[in-house]
Amino acid sequence: MKLKNSLTTILIVVISGFFIIANYAPTITWSGIGLQDHLLLINKAIFPDNQVHGVYAGEWWRVFTVALTHASWLHLGMNMLVLFQLGNIVERFYGEIRYSLILVASVVSASFASLLLDPVNQPSVGASGMIFGLFGAMVLTGKKMGVDYRQVMGYLVLNLVIGFAIPNVDWHAHVGGLIGGLLAALVLQALPRRRIQQRWE
């Protein structure tokens, strides 16, 4: 797998592209509000267009598109660096299809943890929940991937502690994504690789 052709690299380019458009083309609006406001995760709230928006208002896509949003260049850069480091390792081990399933399961579980545990009108942004899902997969199969298991666990604990310690960090999403990635990897390990390839390719 060449890094320039990897799904991880494509995902980094797409996420970074959405961040640039949302921040440097603010005149691009959809139904009266900006792109970021249409993509971030929130239960339900009144937006600047005086309309109620959010997952509980029927905008289900936010469960997935939250990964396309970030609060700042620093937030984006840190997440994309970790995604590049972890994502390519997990993708190389599982293959694109299984890797995609882990990512989807992670972002969905992270989003639902936020929706259930955060205040109704509190917005969440970022791909951190999805990235913590990669940690979950590596916790289960890190030794088989050939990575330093102690280093992975140390990095995971450090990131969890940072999430708890810094204000305004949605640690619910981090824990939810971690659990989602772990469970997805557990299920995928129990399924024959050939069956999944025949079904999805």
Catalytic residues: 128, 174
Tokens of residue 167, six digits: 């204000």
| CA 73 – CA 85 distance, rounded (Å) | 18
d(CA 97, CA 193): 10
CA 41 – CA 36 distance, rounded (Å): 10
124 DSSP assignment: B
Return d(Cα 157, Cα 132) in angstroms, integer.
Answer: 11
- Cα gap 120→81, rounded to integer Å: 31
* Cross-strand partners of 22: none
Per-residue exposure over 66-95, b if at least 16 CB sit within 10 Å of its own CB, e if not: bbbbbeeeebbebbbebbbebbbbbbbbbb
Non-local CB neighbours of 199 within 8 Å, separated by 6+ positions? none
